[in-house]
Structure 1
Amino acid sequence: MERYDIGIIGTGPAGLSAAINGKIRNKNIIVFGHEDLSAKVTRAEKINNYLGFINVSGNELKDSFQEHIRSMNIEIVPERINNVYAMGDYFALMVNDVIYEVKTVILATGIEYTRPFPGEEEYIGRGVGYCATCDAPLYKGKTVAIIGYNKEAEEEANYVSELASKLYYIPMYSGDLKLVPSIEVIKDKPMKIEGEDRVTHLVLKNQKLSVDGIFVLRDSISPGQLVPGLRIEDNHIAVDRLMSTSIPGCFAAGDCVGKPYQYIKAAGEGLIAAISASAYLDKLKREKL
């Protein structure tokens, strides 16, 4: 299995800046994110404080980003990373049943706009999960609820339905659903997750479901859930001025490390994170000589 020098999670200004600067330093990089880059950028009507661009729209800035990364042959892997595990001398990045190995990682995930449900973080690993295709075998013959925030969640629900004895699907979006007939769709608002040693119930606004497991399938998950052991302060990843986190070899940049939530600030931090990751790799290389 190929082991990359730097794994970058996120395709906003911070992640792309990190990718460009990692590539400039001749590092073998891999970038995970959306092919259309950042929804936050593209939705911006006018941007006035990005140096070199005057009254540029978000779409125009995105087009410039894409032209830049194409010119450097930087490709984006359109996958969502579900978990990042520090394995000693490398990190394992989990994408469903696929594992990518990287020597360093740069988190540029933006901020999580959807707060966890009451009880959600308490029962992580004890009935609450974020990758249905990863953990579905644990719930063979059991009752499962999936809270889905996007169409991709429907594919995971269909897979889990083959193993679970009962599957509830709670869509957090509108539109037609492509689910197998055995799945019970409940259009209600999740309120909290209850349990004892493990999850026992999903409480909705109008009813209460008895379940053995709950998968919360958001567009992204919070950094603390993504990377076990990562130090979080005031709901952001704690970093120093070199964008180093509490985990050696793990760096972070952009909105996920704190305010101000500005594109040019994120791009600068992505640069610093790439320089720091490169320096970390070079130091490891010298130590092995």
Structure 2
Amino acid sequence: MSRDMNVFDTFDIAIIGCGPAGLSAAINGAIRKKKVAIFGTDFCSPKLHHAPHIDNYLGFHNIKGEELRQRFLQHVTAMGLKISQSKITGVYPDQNGFTLQSRDKFYAAKTVILASGVSTIKPIEQEIEYLGRGVSYCATCDGPLYKGKKVIILAYNKEGLEEANFLAELASEVTLVSQVKEQDAQGIQLDKSIKVVNGKPLRIIGEIWATGVALDSGEIHADGIFIIRDSVLPDQLVPGLDFSTKGIKVDRTGATNIPGVFAAGDCIGAPYQLSKATGEGQVAALSAVKYIDELKARS
């Protein structure tokens, strides 16, 4: 896919996450004739995949988790829906709804449903504090700002290695700190100019602006730092989103504090149960449909 960031795909409902809540939201949105986008990973719902058996999902007594996961995916496919592996790095309100930013392009949506599950991401020390001040999650978006400068890339997935090659075309020096397992890095040939440093990232260092990364093996310094992971924390993904200690704050309709943004599943809090997730996905989709129809009626 090209890196033309002026390309837009437009949807009624954009769903971020392809677990049970996200897929439930997708089919319910599609049933109501809305154009739906699903943004997920290359393997949807690993938690369901690893479940040896499930006893509490009505009508499917003692079914294997992987069998149920496959049924969910088959249902989505049968309805003509596809799961995009474009990682969304930012969701921003605009006059027509929302702009979603990914690595290679923009998407437009009238509504957004967050169904990203429970995040296992643990930011390194000072990462959030320096976000936007020398720390970025998107090389394509912010890389041009560092043309001719020194950058560090902390790669937690294969995409991070690809982004290192992209930055090598712009920056004067690229230092790569890879946390990617060797088997997951197969097929990626790094640019010869990239400096590879071994170590575990511990914290971002700097004063007003981030100037480097402290590793368990020492410190490295640069003008900018790019952190590439499989997903972005919801509060960093959608600026201004309200959270509690339990998760994203929603009302009974799945609505967040931002009009047009809904949330469902484990990301809004316990109990972390399959039936709860699929039910909340349906509620969020119905709420998004109602929101869209009300906007249309007022226009």
Alignment of 1:20-169 (within 5 A): 20-169=27-176
- For residue 216 of structure 2, what is the amino acid of its counterpart? K
Partner residue in 2 for 1:221: 232
* Matched letter for residue 259 of structure 2: P
Once the two structures are TM-superposed, the CA of residue 44 in structure 1 deviates from its matched residue by 2.0
SS of equivalent residue, structure 2 residue 279: helix
C-alpha displacement at 1:68, in angstroms?
Answer: 0.9
Counterparts of 1:217 and 1:45 in 2: how far apart (Å)?
A: 32
Question: What is residue 232 of structure 1 aligned with on the other side?
Answer: 243
In 2: Cα distance, 1:57 partner to 1:220 partner: 27
Structure 2: gaps of 5 or more residues: 1-7
Q: Which residue identity is paired with 1:229? A: G
What corresponds to 1:5 in structure 2? 12
SS in 2 for 1:18: helix
State how far apart, in whole Å, the 2-side matches of 1:49 and 1:35 are. Answer: 27
Please list the CA deviations of residues 226-283 of structure 1 after superposition, one character each: whole Å capped at 9, or x if unmatched. Answer: 1111112116211111110110000011111111122221111100000110111111
**What is the percentage of aligned positions where both structures have the same residue?**
49
* TM-score normalised by length of structure 2: 0.92
AA aligned to 1:278 is V
Alignment length (residue pairs) = 288
Is 2:45 the partner of 1:16? no
**Secondary structure of 1:237's match?**
coil
How big is each residue's C-alpha offset from its partner over 1:62-87, in whole Å with a ceiling of 9 and x where there is no partner?
A: 11112211221112222111111111
Q: Which stretch of the first structure deviates more once superposed, 2-11 or 78-87? A: 2-11
Q: 1:250 maps to what in 2?
A: 261
* Cα distance change of structure 1 residues 205 and 235 upon mapping to structure 2, 3 Å threshold: farther
Give distance in 2, aligned partners of 1:60 and 1:96: 32
- Matched-pair contact (CA < 8 Å) for 1:108–1:255: yes
Residues 154 and 35 (structure 1), Cα distance of their counterparts in 2 relative to 1, 3 Å cut: closer
**Which residue matches 1:285?**
296
CA distances 1:106-153 after superposition (whole Å, capped 9, x unpaired): 011112202111111111111111111221111111111111111121
Offset at 1:2?
5.2
Contact 1:129 1:135 in 2 (8 A): yes
Whole-Å separation in 2 of the counterparts to 1:201 and 1:3:
38
For 2:285 and 2:297, the matched residues in 1 are separated by: 18
- CA RMSD of superposed structures (Å): 1.5
Worse-matched range after superposition: 43-52 or 279-288: 43-52
